[in-house]
């Protein structure tokens, strides 16, 4: 480790590293730097903890799990002789329980951590990088290196009239203490998909509209299957649309759109904007510092997490890539190490697992078939429906499929994509296989436990060369 990072005795205003943003990325960077012996100033504005714990992952998954219990009760009759019923008795109580969980995790995983690191100074206030350090509340804090980790917020889609309509966002939708009768969801990405299903299971009549298709970054087979499962639950998905205008009505909102050359107006009590996120870069003075941004405003970084200004790094959602909390923390940890020890570490997302918490869950790692071919690979694919997986048969729930993408010739695993009720807990096996450079034959020859969802990966690997339906249990 470099020895450049010792404290500046007698000069409390000087730091080895300044971190702007006190969310998951900011804390990861600050803790990493502190463990390396650096003097760090962590600067937060607003609620400590950032998106994930406060308004993103934690609250959404808590409510998704709550409404999943309703679905499970309604689906109990798939087992002969079993009957169950569940209903929402007090949505306000469910939301407040979620708020209590958020508050406890924010305290335990963020606020309570600060006293454990004597070489981390926490400051509140809006901050911006300046020559030689950062400015906070009119004061200049001297810092040799800076990491920007200010996160992102819900974006605003380009729809005529959107500014005059009181749209819910992924933040405010999770705060509703009364459920609307009907909801229009704009956006078919992971946020729109998760929240559409959650509200539908809570008893709201939901219509989801999107420019492309549901989960456009997923394999098309998964997108099509999930669209069908949504329809089974009463969720209408209207894809491939062009937005014309949105307006207020006496009973809520109305969106006019065009599809296949025809116009249609969809009315609902409330509308949820889930059409993407925008980086929090306002007030940072990036242009004045010569820090490059994308057309959408995200900070451009290289594989070392460096911005175009020497000494300034960025990590997390503000960079506009890999918008997952664990990737934000990973990138920030990398940025801190590079900032203090010579930029020797490269960002690597080749085996990055990604989850969409719909039901069935969508889990993926590596390249899709189209992406692999675009990258120049000649590919082989295997698609296994869940009715070939014993776990799904025993659970009497065969919704889903598993798709593996391999490189022809070498059979190296390039990507794995799972749509299954328990898919999220299975994808890490594929991620480890990819990280280890395994082939689909290696996966097929690995011992997997019987009657598990993850066993489907083995069966999908076997399906490259065998007819799985003709194998006995555990054979292959």
The answer for residues whose C-beta is within 8 angstroms of residue 85's C-beta and 6 or more apart is 73, 74
Structure tokens at 166: 């009181």
The answer on whether 190 is annotated among ligand-binding residues is yes
Question: Annotation-wise, does 61 bind a ligand?
Answer: yes
CA 53 – CA 112 distance, rounded (Å): 14
Q: Is 189 annotated as a binding residue?
A: yes
The DSSP output letter for 237 is E
194 belongs to an annotated ligand binding site: yes
Q: Is 261 annotated as a binding residue?
A: no
CA-based angle 181:183:189, to the nearest 5? 150
As a dihedral over the C-alpha atoms of residue 56, residue 58, residue 62, residue 63, rounded to 10 degrees, the angle is: -10
* CA dist., res. 269 & res. 233, Å (int): 20
Residue 187 marked in a binding site: yes
Backbone angles phi, psi at 148, to 5 degrees: -95, 120
181 belongs to an annotated ligand binding site: no
Burial 290-315 (b: 16+ CB within 10 A, else e): ebebeeebbbebeebbbbebeebbbb
CA 177, 183, 188 angle in degrees (round to 5)? 115
Helix (H, G, I), strand (E, B) or coil at 300: coil
Half-sphere exposure of 77 (CA within 13 A, CB side): 3
Neighbours of 209 (CB within 10 A): 24
Q: Residue 193 annotated as binding? A: yes
Positions at the binding site for NAD(+): 187-194, 276
Positions at the binding site for FAD: 61, 317
Positions at the binding site: 61, 187-194, 276, 317
């Amino acid at each position: 480790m470099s020895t450049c990072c010792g404290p500046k005795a007698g000069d409390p205003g000087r730091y080895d590293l300044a971190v702007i943003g006190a969310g998951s990325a900011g804390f990861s960077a600050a803790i990493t730097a502190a463990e390396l012996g650096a003097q760090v100033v962590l600067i937060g504005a607003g609620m400590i903890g950032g998106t994930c714990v406060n308004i993103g992952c934690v609250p959404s998954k808590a409510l998704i799990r709550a409404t999943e219990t309703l679905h499970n009760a309604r689906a109990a009759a798939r087992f002969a002789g079993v009957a169950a019923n569940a209903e929402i008795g007090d949505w306000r109580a469910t939301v407040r329980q979620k708020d209590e969980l958020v508050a406890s995790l924010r305290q335990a995983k963020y606020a309570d951590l600060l006293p454990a690191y004597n070489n981390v100074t926490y400051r509140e206030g809006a901050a911006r990088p300046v020559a030689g350090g950062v400015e906070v509340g009119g004061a200049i804090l001297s810092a040799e290196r800076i990491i920007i980790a200010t996160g992102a917020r819900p974006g605003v889609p380009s729809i005529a009239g959107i500014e005059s309509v009181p749209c819910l966002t992924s933040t405010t939708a999770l705060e509703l203490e009364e459920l609307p009768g009907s909801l229009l969801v704009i956006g078919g990405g992971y946020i729109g998909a998760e929240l559409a299903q959650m509200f539908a299971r809570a008893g709201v009549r939901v219509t989801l509209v999107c420019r492309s298709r549901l989960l456009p970054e997923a394999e098309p087979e998964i997108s099509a299957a999930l669209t069908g499962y949504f329809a089974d639950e009463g969720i209408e998905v209207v894809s491939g649309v062009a937005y014309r205008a949105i307006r207020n009505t006496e009973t809520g909102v109305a969106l006019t759109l065009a599809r296949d050359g025809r116009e249609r107006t969809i009315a609902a009590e409330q509308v949820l904007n889930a059409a993407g996120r925008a980086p929090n870069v306002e007030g940072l003075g990036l242009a004045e510092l010569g820090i490059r941004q994308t057309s959408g405003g995200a900070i451009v970084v290289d594989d070392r997490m460096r911005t175009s200004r020497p000494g300034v790094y960025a990590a997390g959602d503000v960079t506009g890539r890999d918008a997952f909390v664990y990737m934000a923390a990973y990138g920030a940890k990398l940025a801190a190490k590079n900032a203090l020890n010579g930029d020797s570490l490269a960002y690597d997302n080749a085996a990055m697992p990604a989850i969409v918490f719909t039901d069935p869950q969508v889990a993926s790692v590596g390249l899709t078939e189209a992406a692999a071919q675009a990258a120049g690979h000649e590919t082989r694919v295997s698609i296994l429906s869940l009715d070939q997986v014993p776990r799904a048969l025993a659970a009497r729930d065969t919704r889903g499929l598993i798709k593996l993408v391999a490189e022809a010739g070498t059979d190296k695993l390039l990507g794995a994509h799972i749509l299954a009720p328990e898919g999220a807990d299975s994808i890490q096996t594929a991620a480890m296989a990819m990280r280890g450079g395994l082939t689909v034959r290696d996966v097929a020859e690995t011992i997997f436990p019987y009657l598990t969802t993850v066993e489907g990966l083995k069966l999908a690997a076997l399906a490259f060369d065998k007819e799985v339906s003709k194998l006995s249990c555990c054979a292959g």
